[in-house]
């Protein structure tokens, strides 16, 4: 089985994914980390030197590789399910879990480390809040195609029970 954690930037996919994978004894993959390794560049550098379009192509390529594997927990980049046919691929090949947070909660979690994320690094507080609200509205229809939708405070035992049903 492959478990895909999806959701907005800052929703806790990597932390949750790591914990879930160690409970299940599965390998863990963070798609951003793999792409960083492949380019030898940070996400900021990839966006600014190579461009978002190439980054999105790399995400789709990587997803196509990952679906060949088994016993894996994947933390996806926040935009991955929203480009190409990625959400369909995710659902056809694994169990998807959407970590759903409110725009306010996302704002609070994203604001302190925003310099690490190219889409928000130059935004002031007001712009960041609008970006989160507007982008979430656009992406929600795709995120909501996940098999399971859970809140940020869902504990590991609940998640385990979900994926084992
Ligand atoms: C993005 C989310 C980021 C990273 C890139 C673009 C997005 O991943 O892939 O900055 O479009 O939402 P995280 O969700 O892991 O921050």
pLDDT tens digits, one per residue of 11-70? 999 999 999 999 999 999 999 999 999 999 999 999 999 999 999 999 999 999 999 999
pTM for the model: 0.96
Regarding beta strands 2-6 and 72-75, do their DSSP bridges make them parallel or antiparallel, or are they unpaired?
Answer: parallel
Return the structure tokens found at 101.
Answer: 């947070």
Calculate how far, in angstroms, residue 154's C-alpha sits from the geometric centre of ligand 1: 22
Return the closest-CA partner of residue 117 out of 22, 18, 32, 28: 32
The minimum-distance atom of ligand 1 relative to the CA of 43 is 10
Sheet holding 2-6, edge to edge: 27-30, 72-75, 2-6, 95-100, 148-151
Calculate how far, in angstroms, residue 120's C-alpha sits from the geometric centre of ligand 1: 10
Return the structure tokens found at 40.
Answer: 């030898």
The minimum-distance atom of ligand 1 relative to the CA of 118 is 10
Q: Which residues line ligand 1 (CB under 6 A)?
A: 9, 32, 43, 77-79, 117-119
If you count them, how many residues does the chain have?
A: 165
The residue whose C-alpha atom lies closest to atom 11 belonging to ligand 1 is 79
Calculate how far, in angstroms, residue 146's C-alpha sits from the geometric centre of ligand 1: 18
119, 120, 136, 137: which to mutate for ligand 1, most atoms within 8 A of CB? 119
pLDDT tens by residue, 110-138 = 999 999 999 999 999 999 999 999 999 99
């Amino acid at each position: 089985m492959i478990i895909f954690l999806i959701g907005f930037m800052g929703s806790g996919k990597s932390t949750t994914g790591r914990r879930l994978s160690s409970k299940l004894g599965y390998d863990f993959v963070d798609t951003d980390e793999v792409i960083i390794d492949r380019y030898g560049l940070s996400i900021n550098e990839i966006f600014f030197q190579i461009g978002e379009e190439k980054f999105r192509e790399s995400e789709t390529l990587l997803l196509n590789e990952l679906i060949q594997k088994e016993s894996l927990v994947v933390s996806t980049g926040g935009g991955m399910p929203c480009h190409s046919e990625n959400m369909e691929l995710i659902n056809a090949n694994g169990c998807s879990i959407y970590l759903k947070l409110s725009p306010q909660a996302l704002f609070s979690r994203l604001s302190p480390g925003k310099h690490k994320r190219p889409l928000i690094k130059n935004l002031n507080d007001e712009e960041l809040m609008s970006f989160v609200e507007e982008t979430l509205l656009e992406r929600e229809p795709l995120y909501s195609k996940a098999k399971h939708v859970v809140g940020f405070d869902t504990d590991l035992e609940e998640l385990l029970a979900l994926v084992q049903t």
